[in-house]
Structure 1
Amino acid sequence: MAATTIEELHPDVLSCALRRLDGRSLAAASCATAGLRALAADPETWRALCLAEWPSLAGRARLLSVVPPRRFFADAFPFPCQDAGELGGGGGGDGLLPTELVSAVDVYYRGAPLLSRVVETASSSSWFLGSPFRVEAFECKKPVADAVLSPAELELSWVVVDPVRGRAVNLSSRRAVAVDRHWYTGETLVRFAVVLGGCKFETTVTCSEGTGHISEVSLAVQDADGAAVSGERSLRLLAAAMEEQRKGGDRERDEAKRRYDEFVKSKKGRMESKARREALIDLCCSAASAMAVLSFVAAVVLR
Structure 2
Amino acid sequence: MATTTTTVEDLPADVLACALRRLDGRSLAAASCATAGLRALAADPDTWRALCLVRWPSLLAARPDLLSSSAVSPQRLFADAFPFPSISDAAPLAAEAPELPAELVSAVDVYYRGAPLLSRAIETPASSSSWFLSSPFRVDAVESKSPSAAAMAPADLELSWIIIDPRGGGRALNVSSRRPVAVDRHWYTGEALVRYAVVLGGCKFEATVTCSEEETGTATIREISLAVEDADGAAVSGEGALRLLAAAMAGPRRGGDEEEAAAAAKRRYEEFVRSKRGRKESKARKEVLVDLCCSAVSAVAVLSFIAAVVLR
Which bracket does the TM-score occupy, shorter chain normalised? Answer: over 0.9
Instruction: Give 1:170 deviation, angstroms.
Output: 0.5
1:8-87 pair list within 5 angstroms: 8-59=10-61, 60-64=63-67, 65=69, 66-83=71-88, 86-87=91-92
- Shifted more, 135-144 versus 216-225: the winner is 135-144
Deviations 1:137-184 (A, max 9, x none): 111245413x32101111111111111212111001111111111111
2:115 maps to 112
Cα contact 1:84–1:241 (8 A) shared by 2: no
Deviations 1:179-205 (A, max 9, x none): 111111101011111110010111011
Cα distance in 1, alignment partners of residues 298 and 118 from structure 2: 59
Cα distance in 2, alignment partners of residues 87 and 148 from structure 1: 46
1:233 and 2:240 are equivalent in the alignment: yes
1:241-260 pair list within 5 angstroms: 241-248=248-255, 249=257, 250-260=259-269
Instruction: Give 1:87 deviation, angstroms.
Output: 3.7
Deviations 1:68-116 (A, max 9, x none): 1001000000110041773432553xx1211111111111111011111
The partner residue of 1:158 within 155, 161, 165 is 161
Q: Name the amino acid aligned to 1:242.
A: M
Cα distance in 2, alignment partners of residues 255 and 3 from structure 1: 45
1:83-94 pair list within 5 angstroms: 83=88, 86-90=91-95, 92=97
1:129 maps to 133
Cα distance in 1, alignment partners of residues 242 and 177 from structure 2: 19
- Shifted more, 132-141 versus 261-270: the winner is 132-141
Cα contact 2:87–2:252 (8 A) shared by 1: no
Q: Name the amino acid aligned to 2:113.
A: R
Cα distance in 1, alignment partners of residues 95 and 243 from structure 2: 5
Report the 3-state secondary structure (helix = DSSP H, G, I; strand = E; otherwise coil) of the residue aligned with 2:162. Answer: strand
Cα contact 1:172–1:203 (8 A) shared by 2: yes
Instruction: Give 1:302 deviation, angstroms.
Output: 3.1
1:179 maps to 183
Shift of the 203–129 alpha-carbon distance from structure 1 to 2, 3 Å rule, reads: same
Q: What residue ranges of structure 2 are gaps of 5+ in the alignment?
A: none
Cα distance in 2, alignment partners of residues 8 and 133 from structure 1: 54
Q: CA RMSD in A?
A: 1.6
Q: Name the amino acid aligned to 1:96.
A: E
Q: What residue ranges of structure 1 are gaps of 5+ in the alignment?
A: none
- Shifted more, 237-246 versus 128-137: the winner is 128-137
2:285 maps to 276
Cα contact 1:85–1:240 (8 A) shared by 2: no
Report the 3-state secondary structure (helix = DSSP H, G, I; strand = E; otherwise coil) of the residue aligned with 2:283. Answer: helix
Shift of the 257–36 alpha-carbon distance from structure 1 to 2, 3 Å rule, reads: same
Cα distance in 2, alignment partners of residues 182 and 96 from structure 1: 38
Cα distance in 2, alignment partners of residues 84 and 113 from structure 1: 33
Shift of the 108–85 alpha-carbon distance from structure 1 to 2, 3 Å rule, reads: farther
- Shifted more, 293-302 versus 100-109: the winner is 293-302
Cα distance in 1, alignment partners of residues 261 and 31 from structure 2: 23
Report the 3-state secondary structure (helix = DSSP H, G, I; strand = E; otherwise coil) of the residue aligned with 1:180. Answer: strand
Q: Name the amino acid aligned to 2:239.
A: E
Q: Name the amino acid aligned to 1:247.
A: R
Report the 3-state secondary structure (helix = DSSP H, G, I; strand = E; otherwise coil) of the residue aligned with 2:189. Answer: coil
Cα contact 2:85–2:253 (8 A) shared by 1: yes
Over 6 Å off, 4+ runs:
none
1:99 and 2:130 are equivalent in the alignment: no
Cα distance in 1, alignment partners of residues 92 and 110 from structure 2: 31
